[in-house]
Structure formats: C-alpha cells, structure tokens
C-alpha cells in the first residue's frame, strides 16, 4: 500500500533553513492536510514530493520504497500526481494534450496517437463529471475545470498519491463542492490525498488528519475528529489567536472622501453608486466573477468606465491612468502582488519609493529621504527583512503584501483601495494587515476593501456592500450582519439560475 | 545607500584587466623590439574602434534594461554617416550643423521604433528588425552606390585642443558613459527605466508613465547610435551606406557582457562600455597572434557565451 513517510527531512536554501528535520507519515488511502503559515516549509515539502528539489538529509518513502526521483517526470512515474496552485499547464494546447503532456501515447514509429489520447481523456473527464471537450484549448477552460484537468492528468498515470496545493483559492463554493465530491470518490478508491490549504474550514471538511508545520519544523499531526480549528491555529502560529479588532468611531456626518456615482463598465458592472467617509472601512463582498476587481481598477483609473463619475474629496475627477489616481489621492493594493505590485529587480526601498516618486518628475533621487521613509514604513508595518537594500523576492508572501501596502501608504493617500489584501498570507500576517487597515482608518483614511473571505469582511469592515453579477445587491452593517445574511445577498441569484439550468 | 557603481561592474572590469594582462604577456616581444600590443598608439587604436559601437552600446543597454531590444543601431550609424556626408560634401553646411542634423536622424529613428513598439504594439525585436532594414535601405537609396568623401574637405592631421581627432570617439564614449551611468543610477528617470523593464504592469500600477519611459529609451538609443555615426563620419572621413554592417550584434553583445539581461530590468551603462572594450581588445589582439587571424569571430562568439554563463553561475551562488 502507498503509505507515504517523511523521515527526518532537511533542506536549506543558502542561509534559509526551509525544513529542519520533518518526520511524519501519511497513511494509505487517507486525506491528509498539511497546514502552516507562509514560510513554515509546506512549499519545500511539496517540491521534494514533486521531484523539483531534493532533501539535503533524510528521505521520503512511498509504500516502503525510498523515493529517489530527481524530476517531476520521475515523481509521476512513482505514482505521485501534483495539482499546483499556479496553473502549470499549457494554455495553448488542448485539454487532451495537457493531460498527456510529456508522456504522449504513440503508435508504432512514434506518431502521436491522438484518437487514443482523446478517448482516454474523455473517459477520465466523464469519470470526474467534467463536461469539457478533450479538444478544447485549455485557455478557454475555466479555472475550476483546468484544475480538474490536472487531476485527470494525475489519474491518467494511475497515481496512488494525489497532492493538491491550495486548489480552492480561485473556486466558487459550488466548484469547491464538486472538487470535494471528486476527491472523496478517489479516496474511496484508495487514492491517498495530500491537501495543502490556508482555508481551515475546508481542511476540516475534507481531511482525516492534519499535520501542522511551523518554521520548517514538525509540530504535530492531529485527528480532525478530535481537534478544533482554534487548536490548529494555535499550533500553526505558536501562540493564542488574536482577539477581534475594535472599531474606531466614524464621523457619520463627515462628507464622503470617495463617491462613485452610477459607474458602469460593460460587461463587468453597472450602475455602481457608493460612498466612503474618512475613517471608514467599507467592504465589497462577492463571489469570484462578481466584477469587484474590475470595479476597483476602474475607480483607480487603469480602466475607463463607460459611464458614471468618481468624486474624490468633493471634486469630480477624470482618471486616465494610475498616475492620475495617485495624484488625486487614491492608492490601490492590487490582488496579484507579484504581477501588479512588486519589482523583483529593485530593492525593497526602491519598491516602496517608486509610487511616491512617480508622482513627481524624473529628477534626482533623494536617496537619504527615501531610505528614511522606507525604513520607518518597514518598521511600522513590521515587514521582516534583514535589509531594505534587498530585493523583495526573499520575503514571505505576507511580507511581500505588506511591502505593497507600504508602497501605497508612502503616497499618504486619502482613499486606500485594497483588493483581496490577505489572499495567500498566513494567519499572523493577516492579523497584522487587518490591524494596519484599522489603524489607518482611525487616522482618518478611507478604506475600500474587496474580499471573498467572509469572516474577514465581517471582522474588518464597518459596512459591507454585496456585489453579485456586476450590481450592488445590498448593504449591511458589519457589526450586526451574519455570514448567512451576506451569503443570501451574494449567492441568491446564482442558485436560482443554477436551478433553472438544471 | 546605493552608489553609482555596483558589484557587477567590478567583475566586468576584472575580465577586461585579465584580458589585457593576458595579451600583454602572450605578445611580449623579443628583446629590443617594441611591444606590439601594449603601446600608446595601439591603445588609442583599440579605444578608437571600440568607441564606435561602445557609444551605441550605452543606448542599447538602456533599451535592454527597459525590457526591449534595439537591432537598428548599426543601420542608424550608417544612415547618419550618409546624411552628415551629404550635407557636408554636397550641400556645403558647416560641420557642426551637419552633426546636429545627424543627431536628428537618431531622434527620428528612436521615435519611429518606439512608435511601433508602444503605439502599434509590435514586439521590439520585430519592430527594430524592420526599422533596421528601412534605415539601411534609406542610406543605400541616398548614396546609390557612391560614398561621400568628407576627408577631402576636413583638415589633414586635424587636432582639436591639442589632441588628435582620433581621440574624439573615446572622449565622447567616456563622457556619455559617465552622464548616463549617473542618470541611470541616481535619477528617477533611470529607476523608472529599470522598473518598466522589471515589471511593466507593476510600473503602470505605481503611476509610472510606461509609454513615455519606453519612448525615451528608444530615443536615447537612436541618438547615441547617431552620435556614433557622426564620430565615424568625422574620424573615418566617409559617409557610406555599408559602414557598421553587423554592428548591432556587437552592440548588443557588449551590453550583455556588461551585465544587461535580455529579460529586462537588469544591466549597466558602464558595463556596456566595458563590454565594448573587452571586444575591442580581442579584435585588436587576436590578429596579431600568429595563426589566429581566422579565429577571431569564433573566439568572440565563444567569449560572449562564457562570460554570460559565468555571470549566471555567480548570480545563482549569491542568491
């Protein structure tokens, strides 16, 4: 049987000790979660499983045999299928080609056997209840189905262990349900599932046991049935979970610093009207695809609205670029920090200075002033780095996110727009980012936060605007709202639509 | 604090010094004869020839740092010599006005390339490949297989401020290298160029005028190539359509050997000039080695690969 054992696994990258002697076992046929804060060593463990890196010391055994694979290809041959967080697939190839990429079925003489691959893919997808043609290009397949295609790939090679890294980050609730049904079926067939996720409710729903890593070390393995989420969080952070944040007093009668009137941009959203007052944190909640990111980008000037106006501090503004928006007093913490937020070829100090400097001209850089400002922001936001002269690629996800926030705060905006500010960051950093937002709000900044994390929206904001299919469907006071209230507004229409289709 | 010089440039200096020491030792003459490589005349010769593509390599490095690539400098150099030659010889303008007109050719070339890249959205490789053909072709159309002989109208054994005109290229190269090194490391413009090359979307979201910055990089590249052309026309005394053929590769190779990464975001102006000198020394010394004459292209190509691979290994170890 495919019992997966980690025995005293060590791995260092330069001075960084990513894994410091991790030992635990995943029983054959169970669903086993690996959780931990960013930097706990989960990614390194997965890379070892996938054959991307090898341990410095220690070994990994599958069904009693030591794994010596040196590449993802070997890992697949050994029966380990990986479903990665990023879409490590070929958008320009068909679904069938993706399933068999690198290990194509061939006829005698080496010609590709397209018919056989297509038929096998169709069977696998039917088995997973995925209604996608094997001939469809992967770029035209939804994120959820692309993930299922990766699972199909693993199954095509009869994998005994299926490893999933944060598979639910970009899925809707219905898609998560579908995925979990499939995983449970595979488990019943004897496939061992290794599940890595930040989302503890999902971990508790799916997995039999949970292994917690912290700072590269093994903390413990817990039976899901006999432990609680709080206990797992305590094990992950090594301290008591933080208390809920207090809210500051908002001057209700102060004039709004940001007003959006009848803003529309086809096909994303229409007729959006909202106001944010100084000191207020307003949340926009909605399911993926509700048009929230597009709304923030339009307010921030990187996309043009078809209609409607944006008023900052009482003055209507026409924003044609991010530069205009920053000059008008706005700042945006974008959802995808690596693509839209950070420059990995520049130092942390340069990154933080860039937005503020771009507001000015092209003249001489005030290195001293910039270094002082960057150092004070790094201290204020508790960004953990040995030096601000380093590039941000050495930072953990949470610290990268705080660096993007620092970059925005350096321009001292009147309105701070945040798009999924805690996506993919660990519990500790999440709390610090929440604290930061509340502190800035208390100091008079207006904050507009887009998030799909419902507990976050309830804990962090003063008012919640619920967006569904490009329209604001309602407004709730965060203090009195429940998760049910918000979900009713966010999901109602889609459910009835689904019924009609069914 | 970030200084004007970075560690990467020291390793380029080290390679250059090692190379010079090697050839000085290897070509050491028999007693009583003068050194064929290490003498004032030969050093000036190396500087003089390196400066033609060294000046253009400054601009090429800036375009590469901005995330693009410019294949047109060789053609721009040739077109500039032709324009300068035509105005000087046929029209009879004073030399300084001809030089100014030559630089305007560079401005036009840079604007054309950046228009194709920024507005039309062509990949830089294709845009500048096309533009390269057009400028080279224009030079041939103007000259119709003739060439302009500037040397007949220029003073013989021309000295400016007591120095031979041969020093013009090296002087221009060093002055421009200093100016652009400071602009790239100490000024907001230079950092914006790096930011655009490192992550264009993040630069846009940071409020940087990405289109303007890219345009400025191509215009600088065009003007510096034109400056090479002016120097070549004056020093060589010719305006000719087939001058500087194939220089675009030497120019890009100089920038790359000097630390520029074709992915964008990394590179150095001073490094590009040092890279030009590394090739200048090779080109000068190899033909002096008995039997090595036909190996010079081969060795130059191999050196590019070796230096870049070494650089990658060093960067990998550092991280």
Q: What is the mean pLDDT of residues A264-272?
A: 90
A304 Ramachandran zone, left/alpha/beta (phi>0; psi -120 to 50): beta
Cis peptide bond prior to A267, omega within 30° of 0: yes
Using alpha carbons, select from B185, B186, B208 the residue that is nearest to residue B259.
Answer: B185
Q: How far is CA A22 from CA A41, A161, A220, A426, B85, in A?
A: 9, 19, 10, 20, 74
pLDDT (tens digit per residue) in A21-52: 899 999 988 999 998 876 678 888 888 888 88
pLDDT band at A252 (very low <50, low <70, confident <90, very high): low
| A334: chain B residues, CB-CB within 8 Å | 205
Q: Rounded to 10 degrees, what is the CA torsion of A384, A390, A393, A394? A: -50
Q: Can you tell me the distance from the alpha carbon of A64 to that of B110, in angstroms, rounded to the nearest whole number? A: 65
Q: Can you tell me the distance from the alpha carbon of A26 to that of B124, in angstroms, rounded to the nearest whole number? A: 51
Asked if B199 and A344 come within 8 Å (Cβ–Cβ), the reply is yes
Using alpha carbons, select from A234, A295, A227 the residue that is nearest to residue A263.
Answer: A295
Q: Can you tell me the distance from the alpha carbon of A102 to that of A88, in angstroms, rounded to the nearest whole number? A: 13
Asked if B187 and A364 come within 8 Å (Cβ–Cβ), the reply is yes
pLDDT band at B119 (very low <50, low <70, confident <90, very high): very high
Mean pLDDT is lowest, of A324-338, B50-64, B280-294, for B280-294
Residue A499 has pLDDT above 50, yes or no: no
Q: Is B67 on the interface with A (CB under 8 A)?
A: no
Q: What is the mean pLDDT of residues B38-45?
A: 90
Asked if B207 and A323 come within 8 Å (Cβ–Cβ), the reply is yes
User: Strand (E) positions, A206-288?
Assistant: 209-214, 217-223, 258-265, 269-276, 281-285
CA distance A400 to chain B (A): 13
Alpha helices in A8-94 (DSSP H): 42-50, 72-77
Asked if B186 and A371 come within 8 Å (Cβ–Cβ), the reply is no
CA distance A386 to chain B (A): 14
pLDDT of residue A251: 58
**pLDDT higher for A453 or B241?**
B241
Instruction: For residue A322, give the nearest of B194, B195, B207 by CB distance.
Output: B207
pLDDT (tens digit per residue) in A6-21: 999 998 876 667 888 8
Asked if B2 and A367 come within 8 Å (Cβ–Cβ), the reply is yes
Q: Which residues contact B146 (CB under 8 A, 6 or more apart)?
A: none
Q: Is A390 on the interface with B (CB under 8 A)?
A: no
Q: Is B205 on the interface with A (CB under 8 A)?
A: yes
For residue B132, with 0-12 CB atoms within 10 Å meaning exposed, 13-18 middle and 19 or more buried, which class applies?
Answer: buried
Residue A502 has pLDDT above 60, yes or no: no
pLDDT of residue A249: 58
User: Strand (E) positions, A235-323?
Assistant: 258-265, 269-276, 281-285, 307-312, 315-317
**pLDDT higher for B128 or B301?**
B128
pLDDT of residue A87: 56
Instruction: For residue B202, give the nearest of A343, A359, A367 by CB distance.
Output: A343
Please count the other Cβ atoms lying within 10 Å of the Cβ belonging to residue A191.
23
Question: Taken in order A453, A455, A460, A464, is the CA torsion positive or negative?
Answer: positive
Q: Is A332 helix (H, G, I), strand (E, B) or coil?
A: strand
Instruction: For residue B206, give the nearest of A354, A363, A367 by CB distance.
Output: A354
Q: Which residues pair with A163 in a beta bridge?
A: A82, A194
Eight-class DSSP state of A165 = E
Residue B113 has pLDDT above 90, yes or no: yes
pLDDT of residue A494: 44
pLDDT band at A114 (very low <50, low <70, confident <90, very high): confident
B274-301 residues labelled b (16+ CB within 10 A) or e (exposed): bbbbbbbbbbbbbeeeeeeeeebeeebe
pLDDT of residue B319: 54
Instruction: For residue A371, give the nearest of B1, B204, B205 by CB distance.
Output: B1
Mean pLDDT is lowest, of A307-321, A483-497, B71-85, for A483-497
| A335: chain B residues, CB-CB within 8 Å | none
CB A82 within 8 A of CB A154: yes
CB B75 within 8 A of CB B277: no
pLDDT of residue A244: 54
Q: Which residues contact A350 (CB under 8 A, 6 or more apart)?
A: A343, A370, B191, B195
Which residue of chain B comes nearest to A328, CA vs CA?
B207
Six-digit token string for A52:
């991307």
| A359: chain B residues, CB-CB within 8 Å | 207
pLDDT of residue A38: 66
Asked if B1 and A321 come within 8 Å (Cβ–Cβ), the reply is no
Q: Is A297 on the interface with B (CB under 8 A)?
A: no
Residue B318 has pLDDT above 70, yes or no: no
Asked if A354 and B197 come within 8 Å (Cβ–Cβ), the reply is no
pLDDT (tens digit per residue) in A172-222: 778 888 889 989 988 998 899 999 887 788 899 999 999 999 888 899 999
Q: Is A54 on the interface with B (CB under 8 A)?
A: no
Instruction: For residue A323, give the nearest of B198, B199, B209 by CB distance.
Output: B209
Element (H, E) at A295: helix A292-299
| Number of alpha helices (DSSP H) and beta strands (DSSP E) in chain A | 16, 20
CB A59 within 8 A of CB A49: no
Asked if A340 and B201 come within 8 Å (Cβ–Cβ), the reply is yes
User: How many beta-carbon pairs below 8 A join chains A and B?
Assistant: 91
Which residue of chain A comes nearest to B67, CA vs CA?
A345
Q: How far is CA A445 from CA A353, A358, A409, in A?
A: 20, 21, 10
Instruction: For residue B186, give the nearest of A326, A364, A389 by CB distance.
Output: A364
CB proximity under 8 Å: A 84-123 to B: none
pLDDT of residue A351: 94
- Show the CA angle centred on residue B122, arms to residues B121 and B127, nearest 5°: 135
pLDDT (tens digit per residue) in B153-199: 888 778 887 788 889 999 999 999 999 999 999 999 999 999 999 99
Asked if B199 and A326 come within 8 Å (Cβ–Cβ), the reply is no
Q: How far is CA B100 from CA A329, A413, B93, B139, B229, in A?
A: 43, 46, 11, 18, 12
Residue A241 has pLDDT above 60, yes or no: no
pLDDT of residue B5: 64
Phi, psi of A68 (to 5 degrees): -120, 20
Six-digit token string for A312:
């900052």
Q: What is the mean pLDDT of residues B302-306?
A: 88
Q: How far is CA A288 from CA A436, A490, B115, in A?
A: 25, 10, 37
* Count of residues in chain B: 319
pLDDT band at A129 (very low <50, low <70, confident <90, very high): confident
Mean pLDDT is lowest, of A305-309, B174-178, B237-241, B283-287, for B283-287
| B209: chain A residues, CB-CB within 8 Å | 321, 323, 358
| B214: chain A residues, CB-CB within 8 Å | none
CA distance B185 to chain A (A): 9
pLDDT of residue A377: 92
Q: Is B265 on the interface with A (CB under 8 A)?
A: yes
Q: Is B194 on the interface with A (CB under 8 A)?
A: yes
Q: Is A189 on the interface with B (CB under 8 A)?
A: no
Residue B314 has pLDDT above 80, yes or no: no
Q: Which residues contact B215 (CB under 8 A, 6 or more apart)?
A: B110, B111, B114, B115, B118
DSSP assignment string, chain B: ---SS-HHHHHHHHHHHHHHHHHHHHTPPPTTSPPSSSSHHHHHHHHHHHHHHHHHHHHHHHHHHTT-----HHHHHHHHHHHHHIIIIII---HHHHHHHHHHHHHHHHHHHHIIIIII---HHHHHHHHHHHHHHHHHHHHTT--EE-TTTSPTT-EETTEEGGGHHHHHHHHHHHHHHHHHHHBHHHHHHHHHHH-HHHHHHTT--HHHHHHHHHHHHHHHHHHHHHHHHHHH-EE-TTTTTTHHHHHHHHHHHTT--TTSS---HHHHHHHHHHHHHHHHHGGGSTT-GGGHHHHHHHHHHHHHHHHHHHHHHH-
Asked if A326 and B265 come within 8 Å (Cβ–Cβ), the reply is no
Tokens 């009147």, residue located: A414
Eight-class DSSP state of A461 = -
CA distance B213 to chain A (A): 10
Q: Which residues contact B120 (CB under 8 A, 6 or more apart)?
A: B127
Q: What is the ipTM of this complex?
A: 0.85
Q: What is the mean pLDDT of residues A133-141?
A: 87
| A346: chain B residues, CB-CB within 8 Å | 191, 194-195, 198, 265
Tokens 């700042």, residue located: A331
CB A193 within 8 A of CB A158: no
Q: Can you tell me the distance from the alpha carbon of B142 to that of A260, in angstroms, rounded to the nearest whole number? A: 59
Q: Is A298 on the interface with B (CB under 8 A)?
A: no
Q: Is A358 on the interface with B (CB under 8 A)?
A: yes
Q: Is A363 on the interface with B (CB under 8 A)?
A: yes
Q: Is B206 on the interface with A (CB under 8 A)?
A: yes
Please count the other Cβ atoms lying within 10 Å of the Cβ belonging to residue A382.
14
Six-digit token string for A493:
């229409």
Beta-strand pair A161-165/A192-196 = parallel
Asked if B206 and A358 come within 8 Å (Cβ–Cβ), the reply is yes
Chain A interface mutation, best of B62, B199, B202, B266, highest count of A Cβ atoms under 10 Å: B202
Tokens 């001489």, residue located: A364
pLDDT of residue A260: 95
pLDDT of residue B76: 98
Q: In the sheet where A16-26 sits, what is the strand order? A: A16-26, A4-13, A57-62, A65-66
Q: Can you tell me the distance from the alpha carbon of A248 to that of A246, in angstroms, rounded to the nearest whole number? A: 7
Task: Supply the pTM of this predicted model.
Answer: 0.79
Six-digit token string for A415:
């309105």
A58 Ramachandran zone, left/alpha/beta (phi>0; psi -120 to 50): left
pLDDT (tens digit per residue) in A52-68: 888 888 889 888 888 88
- Show the CA angle centred on residue A357, arms to residues A353 and A363, nearest 5°: 125
Chain A interface mutation, best of B1, B7, B190, B207, highest count of A Cβ atoms under 10 Å: B207
CA distance B318 to chain A (A): 9
Q: Which residues contact A263 (CB under 8 A, 6 or more apart)?
A: A269, A271, A272, A273, A295, A298, A299, A305, A307, A308, A309, A310
CB A168 within 8 A of CB A137: no
Which residue of chain B comes nearest to A300, CA vs CA?
B205
CB B196 within 8 A of CB B210: yes
CB A472 within 8 A of CB A274: yes
| B187: chain A residues, CB-CB within 8 Å | 362-365
Q: What is the mean pLDDT of residues B1-23?
A: 80
CB A464 within 8 A of CB A458: yes
Q: What is the mean pLDDT of residues B88-98?
A: 94
């Amino acid at each position: 049987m495919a019992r997966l054992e980690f025995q005293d696994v060590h791995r260092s990258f330069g001075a960084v000790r990513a894994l410091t002697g991790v030992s635990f076992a995943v029983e054959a046929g169970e669903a086993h979660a690996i959780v931990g804060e960013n930097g706990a060593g989960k990614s390194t463990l997965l890379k070892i499983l996938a054959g991307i890196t090898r341990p410095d010391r220690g070994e990994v055994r599958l069904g009693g045999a030591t794994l010596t694979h040196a590449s993802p290809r070997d890992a697949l041959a050994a029966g380990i299928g990986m479903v990665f967080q990023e879409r490590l697939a070929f958008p320009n190839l068909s679904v069938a080609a993706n399933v068999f990429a690198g290990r194509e079925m061939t006829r005698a003489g080496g010609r590709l056997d397209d018919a056989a691959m297509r038929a096998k893919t169709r069977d696998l997808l039917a088995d997973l209840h995925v209604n996608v043609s094997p001939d469809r290009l992967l770029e035209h397949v939804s994120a959820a189905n692309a993930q299922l295609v990766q699972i199909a790939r693993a199954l095509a090679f009869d994998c005994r262990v299926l490893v999933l890294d944060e598979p639910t980050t970009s899925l809707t609730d219905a898609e998560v349900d579908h995925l979990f049904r499939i995983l449970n079926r595979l488990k019943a067939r004897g496939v061992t599932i290794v599940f890595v996720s930040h989302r503890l409710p999902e971990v508790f729903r799916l997995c039999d046991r949970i292994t917690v890593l912290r700072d590269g070390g093994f903390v413990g393995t817990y039976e899901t049935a006999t432990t609680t989420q709080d206990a797992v969080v305590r094990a992950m952070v090594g301290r008591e979970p933080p208390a809920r944040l207090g809210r500051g007093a908002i001057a209700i009668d102060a004039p709004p610093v940001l007003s959006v009137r009848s803003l529309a941009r086809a096909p994303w959203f229409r007729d959006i009207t909202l106001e944010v007052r100084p000191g207020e944190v307003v949340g926009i909640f909605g399911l993926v695809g509700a048009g929230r990111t597009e709304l923030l980008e339009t307010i921030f000037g990187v996309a043009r609205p078809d209609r409607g106006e944006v008023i900052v501090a009482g003055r209507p503004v026409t924003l044609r670029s991010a530069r205009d928006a920053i000059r008008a007093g706005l700042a945006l913490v974008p959802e995808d920090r690596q693509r839209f937020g950070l420059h990995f070829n520049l130092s942390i100090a340069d990154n933080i200075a860039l937005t503020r400097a771009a507001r000015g001209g092209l003249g001489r850089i005030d290195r001293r002033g910039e270094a002082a400002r960057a150092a004070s922001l790094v201290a204020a936001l508790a960004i953990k780095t040995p030096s601000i002269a380093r590039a941000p690629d050495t930072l953990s996800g949470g610290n990268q996110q705080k660096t993007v926030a620092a970059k925005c705060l350096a321009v001292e905006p009147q309105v701070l727009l945040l798009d999924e500010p805690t996506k993919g960051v660990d519990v500790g950093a999440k709390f610090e980012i929440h604290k930061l937002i509340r502190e800035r709000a208390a100091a008079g900044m207006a904050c507009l936060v887009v998030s799909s994390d419902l507990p976050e929206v309830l804990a962090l904001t003063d008012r919640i605007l619920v967006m569904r299919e490009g329209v604001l469907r309602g407004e709730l006071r965060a203090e009195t709202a429940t998760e049910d209230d918000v979900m009713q507004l966010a999901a109602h229409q889609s459910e009835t639509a689904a019924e009609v289709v069914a | 604090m970030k200084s004007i010089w970075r560690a990467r440039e020291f390793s380029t200096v080290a390679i250059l010094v090692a190379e010079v020491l090697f050839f000085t030792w290897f070509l050491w003459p028999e007693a009583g004869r003068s050194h064929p490589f290490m003498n004032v005349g030969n050093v000036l010769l190396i500087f003089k020839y390196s400066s033609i593509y060294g000046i253009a390599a400054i601009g090429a490095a800036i375009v590469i740092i901005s995330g693009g690539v410019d294949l047109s400098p060789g053609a721009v150099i040739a077109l500039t010599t032709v324009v300068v030659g035509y105005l000087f010889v046929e029209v009879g303008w004073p030399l300084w006005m001809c030089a100014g007109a030559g630089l305007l050719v560079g401005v036009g070339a840079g604007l054309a390339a950046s228009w194709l890249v920024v507005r039309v959205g062509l990949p830089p490789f294709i845009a500048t490949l096309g533009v390269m053909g057009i400028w080279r072709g224009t030079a041939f159309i103007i000259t119709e297989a003739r060439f302009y002989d500037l040397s007949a109208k220029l003073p013989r054994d021309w000295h400016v401020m007591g120095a031979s005109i041969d020093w013009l290229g090296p002087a221009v190269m060093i002055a421009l290298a200093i100016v652009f090194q400071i602009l790239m490391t100490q000024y907001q413009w230079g950092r914006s160029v790096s930011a655009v090359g490192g992550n264009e979307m993040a630069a846009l979201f940071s409020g940087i005028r990405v289109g303007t910055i890219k345009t400025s990089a191509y215009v600088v590249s065009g003007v510096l190539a034109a400056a090479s052309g002016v120097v070549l026309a004056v020093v060589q005394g010719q305006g000719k359509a087939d001058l500087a053929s194939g220089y675009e590769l030497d120019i890009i190779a100089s920038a790359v050997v000097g630390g520029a990464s074709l992915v964008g975001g990394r590179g150095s102006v001073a490094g590009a000039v040092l890279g030009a000198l590394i090739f200048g020394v090779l080109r000068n010394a190899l033909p002096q080695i008995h039997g090595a004459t036909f190996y010079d292209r081969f060795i130059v190509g191999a050196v590019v690969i070796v230096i870049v691979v070494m650089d990658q290994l060093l960067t990998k170890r550092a991280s």
